[in-house]
Amino acid sequence: MSAPIVLAEGLSKSFRVADKQPGLSGTMRHLLRRTYRDVEAVRDLHFTIQPGEVVGFLGPNGAGKTTTLKMLSGLIHPSAGRVEVAGCLPQRRQERFLQQITLVMGNRQQLIWDLPPLDSLRVNAAVYGIDPIEAKRRINELAEMLELGEELQRPVRKLSLGQRMKAELLAALLHRPSVLFLDEPTLGLDVNAQARVRDFLADYNRRTGATVLLTSHYMGDITALCERVLLIHQGRLFHDGSLDALTSRLAPCREVRLELRQVHPREAFEGFGTIEVHQGHQVRLLIQREQLTQQVGLLLSRFEVVDLEVSDPPIEELIGGLFRQQG
């Protein structure tokens, strides 16, 4: 196995914040004698990412996702631990490092609001030392992949949200980074625009072999792009592995839906699993994964089944349930 392109060992970040009590008396005390407390945003994260991987980074608001991305991109320094990206220490912000990474944040923009994206792209090309002829070739190539045409000639403020995000991606990828840190790249986009951005990212990864670490509140982004996910909660790493493994960890049972030719009493299904629904011809059971094959075989042999469906609970429901339990 090749050396990881992203490495985090014991990565932690804490912030010192003012501890102010509510009300007028709290405000007066805060003015006269300020007290502070430390808030741990990220706690002892350990993970590596191999070149070319597309990894989802999941967690609720305030879990530490954006803080982690900012440490990986060198915008803030870790309080403890070690981080390495593309063979560089991010906090040093060396030119060799900056040429290899990009950070795209769905709620931030780098394009100049009153100018066409093309003008900002030419500035970016000059900043990264890209020859004008080569810059034009790259802009045309990325614009074709992103389905951007005359939109590059219009002021940014006149573009739709989806068009702006595609232009932001073009600007972020102009210098051909090998590592992409994407923080909510489809935030606020409609379903069609989300799908187009996903398709572009998948295509870009296939063409260039770029490594992608992606945060998103839209599970469609994660399931469409990522074979592996990192799940953090309250600053700690809860899971590192596949979505299927996460589902198995959070949901030890699978859901079995039955449509029966004849109606049977509820008692007939006891012993097969947990009965979630029993309404006429419709029965829904939760069955332990390790017993699934055996129990489904027994159900088919004992009852006349018109239709059968086996599924996992939606992953967003499972993750949401985890956060509610531990929050």
Question: Hey, what are 44's tokens?
Answer: 């002892």
Could you read off the pLDDT of 108-159 as tens digits, one per residue? Answer: 788 889 999 999 999 999 999 999 999 999 999 999 989 899 999 999 999 9
CA distances from 274 to 44, 66, 89, 123 (A): 38, 39, 52, 62
d(CA 166, CA 154): 14
Look up the CATH number of domain 252-311: 3.30.70
Q: Could you read off the pLDDT of 14-41 as tens digits, one per residue?
A: 998 877 778 777 777 777 788 888 889 9
* The predicted structure's pLDDT at residue 29: 77
pLDDT tens for 66-80 read 999 999 999 999 999
| Strands ordered across the beta sheet of 282-288 | 274-279, 282-288, 253-260, 305-311
215-219, 226-230, 266-270: range with lowest mean pLDDT = 215-219
pLDDT mean over 228-246: 89
Instruction: Quote the pLDDT of residue 247.
Output: 77
The answer as to CATH 3.40.50.300 being correct for domain 6-10+46-247 is yes
Q: What are the E-state strand segments in the chain?
A: 6-18, 36-49, 54-58, 80-85, 101-105, 179-183, 211-215, 228-233, 236-241, 253-260, 274-279, 282-288, 305-311
Residue type, 57: F
Residue 107 and residue 290: Cα distance in Å, rounded?
Answer: 44
> Is the pLDDT score of 220 beyond 90?
no
The whole-angstrom separation of Cα 118 and Cα 113 is 12
State what percent of residues in the chain have pLDDT above 70.
95
Q: Which residues contact 200 (CB under 8 A, 6 or more apart)?
A: 145, 146, 166, 169
Domain ranges of the chain: 6-10+46-247, 252-311
The alpha carbon of residue 235 and the mean position of all alpha carbons in its chain are separated, in whole angstroms, by: 15
- Measured CA to CA, the distance from residue 119 to residue 235 in angstroms comes to 39
pTM of the model: 0.80
